[in-house]
Structure 1
Amino acid sequence: MVDLDDTTKNIIAFLEAADDGDLKTISKLIADGVDVNAVDVMDNRSALHLACEHGHKEVVFKLLEAGAKVNWVNSFGNTALHWAVSAGCEETCDALLKTGSSVDVKNKFTNQTPLHWAAADGHLGIVEMLIEHGTDINATHVAGYTALHEASQRGHYQVVKTLLYHKASTLVKGEDGKTARDLAKAVGAFKVVALLEFLPDRLREAARTDDTKSLINIIVSSGVEVDDYHADTGDTAMHLAAGAGNHEVVNILLEHGATPNVFNKALYTPLHLACRVAAVEAAKNLINGSATMSADLEAEDGEGNTAIIICAALDCSDLLALLVEKRVSLNQANKRGETALLLAASHGNVPMVQKLIRDRANIEAKDEYGNTPLSMAAKNGHHSVITTLLQSGSHVEPRDKLNNTPLHSAAKHGHRQAVMNLLHGGASCSTKGEDGLTPLGHAAKNGHHQIEKALAAWQERIDRQQNMRKPDE
């Protein structure tokens, strides 16, 4: 049997008294000079830890008065505040915080802060106290969960409501990829699920319907996460506002920290949606952005379309001009190989074609079928675009993957003026393409008899001119 000295005996008695809440013994031993920061050698817990763990608030007050270290950690990295939170004793927590206890200290193995413990146990008053003292409301532990995750998966409705009010993020995903909403659904905490979905749903509806008054009220008064997205579509409030052309809402959301570059489940950003509906003002606000963030002008949708490609495809000249001014890439192609110029030519938009050419878009870019801008203009009969492209130096006879030239395409599709413009631009009407047919052959095959006659007359004139140049035999 080991004989213990008086100092050791006093420490053991001191720790036991703290564990039992024996204020009288604690007071006597402190008066006798015991070390108030002595620890249990087994787990490094101090008397303050023990008193906090069991909610012995009078003992806690006495220990703090005697100079106990509030931020001492045990072998598991827990502080007295962790244990006070676990006991659910608000007065003890308050005393520790006022004495300098670290509000965001993480324990050793799970990286949990006192807020994680308070939220998990549903201690609303302590949650509010920790928030008041500046705790990081979105701190994550080893599993990637925030306090909102912990409260949600245990169905603590009021705690969830308080965390949301103080701007706890609903978007954080744990290491398992789950949000707080996912965890609440998994355990059947449907009241919490409704709370997590209600405010974001109201926010998105206000954004969609251009209800700026309700939007501001929801953001300011509820602490809702402005980037919260719909579970099925992935749409944020910004997606809905941009897609509806609600430019004032876009501005308000940007001012309140909304991210303009989130992709929804259809792989569109808000800017893609604004461009798709030619919402010029909404797109301008996204492009100009906030003080800290603006739309990514080169972001690609699921088909590889950037904003400028969408504008060209949908004939939105105003937005395209704005994007050109912002020096976006003019030669970026989508998954079909289509560039903005190729699409503008395909739609017959002469001013757009002229602008893109002036800003040095590649005039010979080819899509997946080998079509150049001239090929597409010819195929669709846009004779003015053909003239513009030829005057800008476009090669008059590029071959597509079927071996056709633009003249073949124009003749095949019955575009007489396009045919004439190409002929005047130097296209040959005797060149063989698909199936070994000349442009005249394509016109004849498809029943375009006026074009057939025009090509025959043109070829006859060419032949006559060539014969006139031959020296007399």
Structure 2
Amino acid sequence: MGFLSLVGNSFGCSASGERLVSAARDGDLQEARALLEYNPRLARYSTFGGRNSPLHYAAAQGHHEIVSLLLESGVEINLRNYGGQTALMQACQYGHWEVVQTLMLFNANTHRTDYLNGGTALHFAALHGHAQCLRLVLADYVPSIPNFLNLMNDRSSEEVTDAVFDDDDLVKMVNWKADGGLTPLHMAALNGHVECVQLLLDLGACVSEVTIEDGTTMDLIGSGSTPLHYAACGGNAVCCQLLIARGANLAAQNASGLTPLMVAHSWHRNSLEEILSNEPEGRLHTLPSPYLCLPLMSIMSIARECGWRYRNQSPVCIDPCAVCLEGRCSVAAEGCKHEFCTRCALYLCSTSYTSVNPAGAIPCPLCRHPIIAFAALPGTSPIRELPRNSLSLSLCTTCPAVNSDSSAASVPSHLYRTEFHCARMPPMGSSSFRSLSCQRLNPSFCMGTMDTNPCLIRCSRFGSILSRSASHGETNRRPWPLTFSPIVATTS
């Protein structure tokens, strides 16, 4: 009888786990909170086959409040599904910047790579053109200093010392190679995401990185291709101009002996012939990316240390934030000294377009003064970090199927580790984005009816890896958000 009770309890936990998955997918915060109060171990539940946890579903659908609730319940933030994707990768793939911000505040691992393609969350953000997610993922690498862009442009100069700013970690992260040697810059250039290309170049992306032949790829462009080869294949003129202005070689040949101009001809990008055939007569100056956010690192550090939610606040705030009129002022902008709550400061750094002078500064919403960094106000006390244990979905003694008088209930939970899990699927071998994209994967691979094709290069003619240009109407191009052109041509 006791064995049947345990079996019934395991199925009860499974049913509750499916309810939590449905609540996370549908954004039902009350249902999710009630289930987690009933059994916090349900946060570790994963679906059969795809092995997606409630955290994956909430991140993919953009329900940042449920993501925060699950993380506070103790779920492991870097859980992987069957394809090796984390919740951060799912949020970057679908462009949910609020989820990305929440995961970064809880110190999500940005170096994790998926099993299928070897790509990081940065690759997924660059592939789909989500520049807001891209700058949030790199928030801990961009310091809040006024001359950051000058230091990045002059990082090869001997005058720049490591004591000012060590950019090795940033450059390594931005130029991280997935399978086949694909960098985030390759992804953004191929799909014509101008804002991502511009931001990656400002953050130290190398225009001379080439792809490699790893034995598992199918690349119609050819190995040894630079980001300019990929931009020529994608057909976006502005991406090509940005890469050329940053020193891309027009005469570079890949392993097939093709230059960027030849690649453009082979893919019928005739509009790029003038850009790719002649070296620019004068020096091309590029404007800084409007997504380069300098105050982000400072406000993220303050939010992690002092909190960013309105907790235990009195009905009438003595010193309310001038933006939301709800939270208490906890940070001040360096320069104009205007005070905000941490939540509003985070929102400004995550959504605002930055000013051109100085590059990367956010205009103050009250006086339009450029903000480069935030500082915590005196009296703002650090909060105690929430206990976040890695909880497994073990048999729950609170389920009605278990007799409260059973002997198992008296045994401490840490002395036994009977767990109910789906059959663990063997990890897939590392294959490339390109070889996977040649196979039309099921759109409902792991997230129900959502498009979860994990390929980092979209499919195109003959089942290849390459996407069509906007002239053929087969790519999802995001319009340039600003009115000015990112390229300004001047004579030397």
Q: Which has the larger radius of gyration?
A: 1
TM-score (norm 1): 0.48
TM-score (norm 2): 0.47
Structure number with higher relative contact order (C-alpha < 8 Å, ≥ 6 residues apart) = 2
